[in-house]
Amino acid sequence: MEKYETHVHDVLVIGAGGAGLRAAIEASARGASVGLVCKSLLGKAHTVMAEGGIAAALANVDPQDNWKTHFRDTMLGGKMLNNWRMALIHAQEAPDRVKELEEWGALFDRTKDGRILQRAFGGHSWRRLCHVGDRTGLEMIRTLQERGIHSGIDVYMECTITKLFKDGERISGAFGYWRESGRFVVFKAKAIVLATGGIGKVYKITSNSWEYTGDGHALAYEAGAELIDMEFVQFHPTGMVWPPGVRGILVTEAVRGEGGILRNAKGERFMERYDPKRMELSTRDVVARAIYTEVKEGRGSPHGGAFLDISHKGADFIKKKLPSMYHQFLELADVDITKMPMEVGPTTHYIMGGVRVDPENGASTVPGLFAAGEVAGGMHGANRLGGNSLSDLLVFGRRAGWGAAEYAKEIGDNTLKINEEDIEKAARELLQPFENADGANPYIVHQTLQETMQDYFGVFRVEDGLKKGLEELEKIKRTASRLKIEGSRLFNPGWHLCADLKSMLIVSEAIAKSALFRKESRGAHSRVDYPESDPEWGKYNTVIWREGEEMKVGRRPVPEMPDELKQLFTEVK
Amino acid sequence: MSEVVLQVFRGTTREQGELKEYRVPYVEGMVVLDALHYIQANYDGDLAVRWNCKAAKCGSCSAEVNGKPRLTCKTRIDSLPKDEPIRVYPMRAFPLIKDLVTDVSWNYEAKKRIPPFTPDKNTDWIMFQEDIDRLQEFRKCIECFLCQNVCHILRDHGRKDAFFGPRLMIKIAELEMHPKDILDRTEFLRKEAGVGFCNITKCCTEVCPEGIHITDNGIIPLKERVVDRYFDPVMWIFRKISGRK
């Protein structure tokens, strides 16, 4: 076995987006020695792409707002499949997390009286999204990043983790490689926080960056943790559809929040037929299905989307409130959105499902393994409301960092062991593509996977398709077991993709099996063969776990909320 | 146009590396990064390129296209001359790692040395939009480091030891102009960050993909602060002693 570096920490955080950074800051503040690993350079994580805002019931603009309304909106948006405790903690703590961000240097857009401005968004009863034009994620990640580097955290950039180690049942460390040199690295840690984000890159049309390959989902699954709700993949209604190279790039919901109108090719404001009350500001699952249906029934725009028009608000307003949308369309699609409508269509954006965690501290079912942010499941149920993701990252990032630091403290001296054979095995597995004399091109395997997921596990699903899709996934798995790459270990993207593919295949299978399992339509999961929601299915979360080499699927009752909270929902009716 | 010819720098040292030519099918609206991805998938899987979002929001895919520092995800093929190959080089101001990937870690190390945001403990956090407009302009920075790459002090004179470069100048400007920040970074700015090295050629402003007025709104006001603090009184004393006006 070649030499490898070893780093020792109390808490290792994997992923440096909003959740990872917030977890690392918290764990460090609570006295833990913290290592923060990221696949890219610091500050480039997917959080940087978040646009519309962060949801928190500050009631700066609409004084009627409060945590109860936010909680209720979140649960209703998630079709009551959410973990109520997570939704509650989230609604109650989000305002403090936003204010804290401001105290760390973030500069949100202001109200006339100098407070944080809030805007309307789909599924939110009041104007609730704190924002900075349409680049809220950038503001958030930069603020956390700059807080983080002065918090005594060791940051390991451009490093991919491929394996978690356990000593008995407990987490003891992780194995990875430096993307730059291709050399191996071992982290010894008492606790690990997964904050690796989502899975969008398993789909062909996605708003997600290359990093979104489901690494954390896969690492947790392999380590024996449970995944829940994996059938719930959010297709954001408005991605760019033209030109081909930009297909899938996000068009922020803020366009609709600021008054944008959706029309089909016949000029009809079609949301009147799908959700006459909330129209364009309906929840994302509803709007995505509406656009998809309009296109499928022949009323789509020239490039297979719907028209989204904000031009009636005037050029000054648009350039001030939606500057990056203005530039994005002008520069990439030759469309001046101050004068003409955009063409938009659904794009894979987010996964509601993820690692099943304890709402209080982000602990997974594996001792020492924590998860926060998109990689964790439960908070958003069957459909996430826009703006609830950024607040989720902060609220549960902090709690997971806290939980991990506490756990590490309880462990005391680190006597946890990492088996040398496990390290050798992880190294061998990683280097296999260099050894293969022949095999498949990882880029082509990835493309095939993306097409399969897009075709069979998209906005609408049906039993035959799901079964066919699962068979295709099996074939892809076989092909992917023998990959061939060229070049050396020095910054070799082809080789990097081989490791990412392993994660992508695990999450794809989890999505496929969960989607086939849930025989109803709910939130983002739409079954053509079971078009209605079934109250019986509404009592369960789908669960994925590992048994030997086999991926199992089953269900687990949705935790029941206390009566005083139930009342919030009867009051609405 | 049915095909695009690209010449992409390949190698691990600038001396031994060379341009390699590739032919890529043209698709409407294609950007340079799309072509690089095509090359990876179909010709050379190990072509090293940094990228993340492909939507001009993360600032990872910086390179020099036909000699101009650009984000490759934002550089449309149809905006470049059609009758010559598109030449893609790595950023020159940073050490080469491989192909189009350079070592930009210095930017992170230097940034860490900047005294962080330090707010007044008793503030009410009321801030007005007109007071933060300019700061929000600075905070649009996506850290693509193209401005650092074209800065003469860093690129031609290699003075990373003496000057923090435009990116970090606007970082300091943003902290210094924050209505709630109470720290004084003027001495840091003059000594450690070396604001005096900037000779206002505005090359940084020209390449900024976010259109930030780095020099006019950021660096010049910082220079004025330093001048006000350190040089005006000196001139005043000088004038007193010499009796000149």
Domain-wise residue ranges, chain A = 236-347, 424-542
Among A109, A113, A328, the residue with its CB nearest the CB of B56 is A328
Residues of chain B with pLDDT under 70: 233-236, 238-240, 243-245
Count of residues in chain A:
573
Among A46, A48, A494, the residue with its CB nearest the CB of B46 is A494
Taking residue A495's Cβ as centre, other Cβ atoms within 10 Å add up to 25
**Contacts with A245 from chain B: Cβ below 8 Å:** 27, 29-31, 34
Phi/psi at A129 (5° precision): -90, 110
The Cα A77–Cα A453 span in angstroms is: 25
Chain B (66-85) residues lying within 8 Å, Cβ to Cβ, of chain A: 74, 76
Instruction: Give the pairing of strands A154-156 and B3-10.
Output: unpaired
- B68: domain CATH number is 3.10.20.30
Residue B232's pLDDT is 74
Instruction: Give the pairing of strands B62-65 and B68-71.
Output: antiparallel
Does residue A152 sit at the B interface (CB-CB below 8 Å)?
A: no
Q: Among A100, A143, A242, A332, pick the best mutation site for testing chain B contact (most B Cβ within 10 A).
A: A332
Cβ-proximal residues to A87 (8 Å cutoff; 6+ apart), any chain: A71, A74, A75, A78, A379, A381
Cβ-proximal residues to A525 (8 Å cutoff; 6+ apart), any chain: A231, A232, A382, A461, A515, A518
Up-side HSE of residue A190: CA atoms within 13 Å toward CB?
21
Phi/psi at A530 (5° precision): -135, 75
Nearest residue to A322 via CA among A61, A140, A135: A135
User: What are A7-55's pLDDT values in tens digits?
Assistant: 999 999 999 999 999 999 999 999 999 999 999 999 999 999 999 999 9
Residue B190: inside a domain = yes
For B37, name the nearest residue in chain A, comparing CA atoms only. A443
- B156: domain CATH number is 1.10.1060.10
Token pair belonging to A215: 């690494």
Nearest CA to CA, how far is A344 from chain B (Å)?
15
**A236-347 against A424-542: fold identical:** no
Do B89 and B121 sit in the same domain of this protein? no
The Cα B215–Cα B200 span in angstroms is: 7
Tell how far CA A55 is from the center of its chain: 16
Do B140 and B94 sit in the same domain of this protein? no
Cα distances (Å, whole numbers) of residue B170 to B147, B156, B175, B191: 11, 21, 9, 16
Tell me what the mean pLDDT of segment A226-239 comes to.
97
Place of tokens 């409508």: A341
Chain A (488-527) residues lying within 8 Å, Cβ to Cβ, of chain B: 488, 490-495, 497
Q: Among B9, B44, B46, pick the best mutation site for testing chain A contact (most A Cβ within 10 A).
A: B46
Catalytic option among A236, A263, A461, A525: A236
Cβ-proximal residues to B109 (8 Å cutoff; 6+ apart), any chain: none
Token pair belonging to B174: 């943003």
Residue B195: inside a domain = yes
A243 cis-preceded (ω within 30 degrees of 0): yes
Query: Which of B102, B120, B140 is the C-terminal boundary of a domain?
Result: B102
The Cα A476–Cα A402 span in angstroms is: 40
CA torsion, ordered A21, A387, A211, A346, to nearest 10 deg: 180
Counting one residue from A and one from B, how many pairs have CB atoms under 8 Å apart? 163
Do B130 and B209 sit in the same domain of this protein? yes
Token pair belonging to A153: 């955290």
Residue B245: inside a domain = no
Q: If 0-12 CB within 10 Å is exposed, 13-18 middle and 19+ buried, where does residue B87 land?
A: middle
Chain A (297-336) residues lying within 8 Å, Cβ to Cβ, of chain B: 324, 327-328, 331-333
Do B92 and B117 sit in the same domain of this protein? no
Number of domains in chain B: 2
Q: Do B139 and A138 touch (CB under 8 A)?
A: yes
Place of tokens 């259109």: B211
Query: Which of B50, B71, B102 is the C-terminal boundary of a domain?
Result: B102
Question: Under DSSP, is residue A294 helix (H, G, I), strand (E, B) or coil?
Answer: helix
Tell me what the mean pLDDT of segment A417-437 comes to.
96
DSSP string, A198-251: --GGGSSSBS--TT-S-HHHHHHHHHT--EE-TT-EEEEEEEE-SSGGGTT-B-
DSSP class of residue A376?
Answer: B
Chain B (92-111) residues lying within 8 Å, Cβ to Cβ, of chain A: 97-99, 101, 104-105, 108, 111
* Class in CATH terms, A236-347: alpha beta
Taking residue A477's Cβ as centre, other Cβ atoms within 10 Å add up to 17
CB burial readout A415-453, b (16+ within 10 A) else e: ebebeeebbeebbeebbebbeeeebbbbbebbebbbebb
- What is the strand order of the sheet B62-65 is part of? B18-25, B3-10, B86-89, B62-65, B68-71
Does residue A378 sit at the B interface (CB-CB below 8 Å)?
A: no
Do B216 and B110 sit in the same domain of this protein? yes
Q: What is the maximum alpha-carbon separation in chain A?
A: 69
Q: Do A48 and B57 touch (CB under 8 A)?
A: yes
User: What are A311-336's pLDDT values in tens digits?
Assistant: 999 999 999 999 999 999 999 999 99
Q: What is the CA radius of gyration of chain A?
A: 23
Strand locations in A223-324 (E): 227-228, 233-240, 261-263, 306-309
Residue B49: inside a domain = yes
Q: For residue A573, name the pLDDT band (cuts at 50, 70, 90).
A: very low
Q: Do A493 and B97 touch (CB under 8 A)?
A: no
Do B112 and B172 sit in the same domain of this protein? yes
**Is A236 considered catalytic here?**
yes
Token pair belonging to A373: 């942010």
Q: If 0-12 CB within 10 Å is exposed, 13-18 middle and 19+ buried, where does residue A168 land?
A: exposed
Among B30, B48, B128, the residue with its CB nearest the CB of A493 is B48
Tell how far CA A56 is from the center of its chain: 19
Give the domain A424-542 fold.
Methane Monooxygenase Hydroxylase; Chain G, domain 1 (1.20.58)
Task: Please determine, for residue A239, whether its predicted confidence score (pLDDT) is greater than 80.
Answer: yes
Contact B180/B119 with Cβ under 8 angstroms?
Answer: yes
Among B27, B53, B116, the residue with its CB nearest the CB of A49 is B53
**Contacts with B27 from chain A: Cβ below 8 Å:** 243-245
- H helices within chain B, ranges in order? 32-42, 105-112, 129-138, 146-150, 152-155, 165-177, 186-191, 203-207, 220-226, 232-242
**Is A256 considered catalytic here?**
yes
The Cα B245–Cα B230 span in angstroms is: 19
Average pLDDT in chain A: 97
Q: What is the CA radius of gyration of chain B?
A: 22
Token pair belonging to A239: 């991605």
- What is the strand order of the sheet A129-130 is part of? A54-55, A129-130, A118-119
DSSP class of residue A375?
Answer: G
Chain A (170-229) residues lying within 8 Å, Cβ to Cβ, of chain B: 180, 209-211
Residue B67: inside a domain = yes
Tell me what the mean pLDDT of segment A439-448 comes to.
98
User: For A95-133, what is the HEC assignment?
Assistant: HHHHHHHHHCCCCCCECCCCCECEECCCCCCCCCEECCC
The Cα A254–Cα A244 span in angstroms is: 23
Residue B37: inside a domain = yes
Nearest residue to B151 via CA among B105, B200, B196, B186: B200
Cβ-proximal residues to A430 (8 Å cutoff; 6+ apart), any chain: A162, A177, A184, A499
Tell how far CA A260 is from the center of its chain: 25
Q: Do B126 and A332 touch (CB under 8 A)?
A: no
Do B17 and B114 sit in the same domain of this protein? no
DSSP class of residue A559?
Answer: P
CA torsion, ordered A508, A514, A519, A520, to nearest 10 deg: -80
Tell me what the mean pLDDT of segment A478-496 comes to.
97
Does residue B117 sit at the A interface (CB-CB below 8 Å)?
A: yes
Up-side HSE of residue B200: CA atoms within 13 Å toward CB?
10
The whole domain housing B131 covers 105-240
Residue B245's pLDDT is 45
Among B31, B76, B98, the residue with its CB nearest the CB of A490 is B98
For A212, name the nearest residue in chain B, comparing CA atoms only. B52
ipTM of the complex: 0.96
Does residue B143 sit at the A interface (CB-CB below 8 Å)?
A: yes
Count of residues in chain B:
245
Nearest CA to CA, how far is A498 from chain B (Å)?
11
Query: Which of B102, B137, B160 is the C-terminal boundary of a domain?
Result: B102
